[in-house]
Amino acid sequence: MSSGTLYDKVWDLHCVADLPGGATQLFIGLHLIHEVTSPQAFAALDEKGLPVRCPERTVATVDHIVPTISQERPFSDPMAEEMLSTLERNCARHGITLNGLGSGRQGIVHVIAPELGFTQPGMTVACGDSHTSTHGAFGAIAFGIGTSQVRDVLASQSLAISKLKVRRIWVGNRLTDGVFAKDLILHVIRTLGVKAGVGYAYEFAGPAIEVLSMEERMTLCNMAIEGGARCGYVNPDQITFDYLKGRAEAPVADIWDRAVAWWSSLASNDDATFDDEIHFDAAAIAPTVTWGITPGQGIGVDERVPVSEQLDPADRPIAEEAYRYMDLAPGQPIEGVPVDVCFIGSCTNGRLSDLQAAAAVARGRHVAEGIKAFVVPGSEQVARAAIKEGLDEVFREAGFEWREPGCSMCLAMNPDRLEGSQISASSSNRNFKGRQGSASGRTLLMSPAMVAAAAIAGRVSDVRQLS
Amino acid sequence: MTETIAFPQGPIGHVSGRGLVLRGDDIDTDRIIPARFLKCVSFEALGEQAFADDRKELAGEHPFDQAVHQGASILVVNDNFGCGSSREHAPQALMRWGIRAVLGVSYAEIFQGNCLALGIPCATATPDQIRALQDAVAVDPTAEWTLDLQALTFSDGSTSQTISLASGSLDMLRTGQWDATGQLVARDVELTRTMAALPYLNGF
Ligand code: SF4
């Protein structure tokens, strides 16, 4: 059993009671809601005649269904319009602040809560969305929940849940040029597999993690869930505090100093014990690209699609399925695979530094003929900051479309989607069959810089060779 | 398809019904219910949309479409079932199609929690046991099976196999406390106490 870790400390502070069934009632410090997983929860609340327990601890936005070309209301898709107006009604009725379109604060829920300063170290954060693990970057315990649990949190600001084990993912050395947090997490998942994290929280630690910016830490924790770990976190440090300082919802004046003192005390103790520990060498990681239909099917850009015999027997059936679905041959180099669509955005890689990295590749170059490439900022704030730096112009000049913020083609609940068996280079987080809106659409996951490089070349390319 | 059996309610001691085999590891929630069907403000229509894309691809040959499996209620799957998105639409779709229990090697955590919140047991057995049970179930799709949460067995009278369930879930299902809202709301005094001790709610 783990002890003295950040996870243990935060867990203990939030325990309300032991429940008869053996689960723990855990207080939720920050509840994030959006239009897709909340309407049924509000309806269930009404059915039970219950109010929202802590509307002031509930933060709402709209992200999944918003169009990225024109966000004029009513939306042209009546169902999308109904989902947003349902959220607006529910928020108004229950006194919940909705960070809506045009508020200057709207965006993907996992982008806005950190940038507005809602997400802070030591909190428990829940949201009806599996990528809630993102918020662990601040040293919070953050995890995704289903709609019945959204109802429970609305009703009681708490959840019936069981404690996880803690695995430390220790990453030595440093990432090299052209290799990003996205590559690191794809490498971790590729190495450990997509279910290794089931039952665990992942603590990311070590020299390579300590130097990552907050945005990179968010990318890392965001995809912990793709490795099966419902939550991932990084211990809070000066980089965390510097990021939070001055944010809209962050503590101010003398409260700030007390907050920093408390936050600092939460980091895992030097003598903390973990249930498990695994080491990685950051310097050995190359830009990583997925070739298959699970995020664990990744390889270095300089590698070949694995042949079945190289794989663990348990992984072969899904590899066979992936060869067929992706129309990629075992043994084929991934570099050079032609792409049709290039998507930069999502809660994994839709923040300012992601756009900067992609723009650095795009600047002075042009998207290859016949390729559709588009950039969807993660939030209105990200869009504003990027425009201020002229990144929108850099992208436009390079032949990328510049869109309005939202989830967009990460899961294609809005009009942005693949057609037929198109293949995309995507900075998002899931390459499941049909994920990007076409039942036969194909997805190659990679970092934003690698997506930009693919857009320029029209095929998967090693961004390190573009300088 | 119209709903024939009632949704789970109260204590669940066993689930009886016909079995249905769905082979494959890592079947994700995007496959169980593709994202376009998340565009809804109620779960009602989801039963017909379960595995929509897989069913389209198999043109009538998907187990959820085969006439012989209509009315089946126990789904027998393999490893890491329900991985990916947290969408409760996935278990909702299965439940509305008619599934009342799942048996497999392992599940993604959020999926398992979502099932529990609906009163759907996610039972486990070893990979070898599951393979054997899948074969046994597939041999006669009309056979009645019982997933017994007291005896912790899955049997059809002739074949019987020991199964497991996470102890927390098991108690909650047996006692009917899987619908957690009531219990959580009832402990508001303790909740208020917890809140009063949290630095970030009290000016640090
Ligand atoms: S960007 Fe993608 S993964 Fe992130 S919240 Fe939106 S749909 Fe989910």
pLDDT at B168: 81
pLDDT at A467: 62
CB pairs under 8 A between A and B: 218
Residue B1 has pLDDT above 70, yes or no: no
From CA A158, how far away is CA A27, in angstroms rounded?
A: 4
* Percent of chain A with pLDDT strictly greater than 90: 98
From CA A13, how far away is CA A10, in angstroms rounded?
A: 5
Paired tokens of A247? 């944010």
Cβ–ligand 1 contact at A84 (below 6 Å): no
Closest Cβ opposite residue A152 in set B36, B108, B180: B180
Q: What is the pLDDT of residues B51-69, one digit of tens each?
A: 999 999 899 999 999 999 9
Do residues A225 and A431 lie in contact, with contact meaning Cβ atoms separated by under 8 Å? no
From CA A95, how far away is CA A421, in angstroms rounded?
A: 45
Q: Which domains does chain A have, with CATH numbers?
A: 6-161 (3.30.499.10), 165-239+260-284 (3.40.1060.10), 288-465 (3.30.499.10)
pLDDT at B6: 86
Among A349, A410, A432, residue to substitute to test ligand 1 (most atoms within 8 Å of Cβ): A410
pLDDT band at B4 (very low <50, low <70, confident <90, very high): low
Residue range A153-175: average pLDDT? 97
Residue range A290-306: average pLDDT? 98
Omega of the bond prior to A74 within 30 degrees of 0, cis?
A: yes
Type of residue numbered A43: A
- A86/B41 CB distance under 8 A: yes
Do residues A275 and A165 lie in contact, with contact meaning Cβ atoms separated by under 8 Å? yes
From CA A368, how far away is CA A345, in angstroms rounded?
A: 19
pLDDT at B75: 98
Closest A-chain CA to B87: A146
Residue range A221-239: average pLDDT? 97
Q: Within the 125-164 window of chain B, which residues sit less than 8 Å (CB to CB) from chain A? A: none
Atom 6 (ligand 1) nearest CA: A407
Q: What is the pLDDT of residues A353-400, one digit of tens each?
A: 999 999 999 999 999 999 999 999 999 999 999 999 999 999 999 999
Residue A273 has pLDDT above 70, yes or no: yes
Closest Cβ opposite residue B114 in set A13, A123, A148: A148
pLDDT at B2: 41
Q: Which residues of chain A are within 8 Å of residue B169 when distances are taken between CB atoms?
A: 21
Do residues A438 and A421 lie in contact, with contact meaning Cβ atoms separated by under 8 Å? yes
Q: What is the pLDDT of residues A3-18, one digit of tens each?
A: 999 999 999 999 999 9
Residue range B113-137: average pLDDT? 96
pLDDT at A20: 80
Paired tokens of B37? 């069907």
* Percent of chain A with pLDDT strictly greater than 70: 100
- CATH class, B14-177 region: alpha beta
Do residues A306 and A319 lie in contact, with contact meaning Cβ atoms separated by under 8 Å? yes
Q: Within the 28-87 window of chain A, which residues sit less than 8 Å (CB to CB) from chain B? A: 29, 36-37, 39-40, 43, 48, 50, 53, 64-65, 77, 79-80, 82-83, 86
User: Which CA distances in Å does A134 have to A217, A223, A352, B155?
Assistant: 8, 7, 16, 42
B203/A contact by beta carbon, under 8 A: yes
Atom 4 (ligand 1) nearest CA: A347
- Concatenating the DSSP letter of every residue in B86-137 gives --THHHHHHHHHT--EEEES-B-HHHHHHHHHHT--EEE--HHHHHHHHHHH
B11/A contact by beta carbon, under 8 A: no
pLDDT at A68: 95
pLDDT band at B3 (very low <50, low <70, confident <90, very high): very low
Q: What is the pLDDT of residues B159-184, one digit of tens each?
A: 899 999 987 889 889 988 888 899 99
Sign of CA pseudo-dihedral A69, A75, A79, A83: positive
Instruction: Please state, rounded to an integer, the average pLDDT across all residues of chain A.
Output: 97
pLDDT at A21: 73
Residue range A403-412: average pLDDT? 95
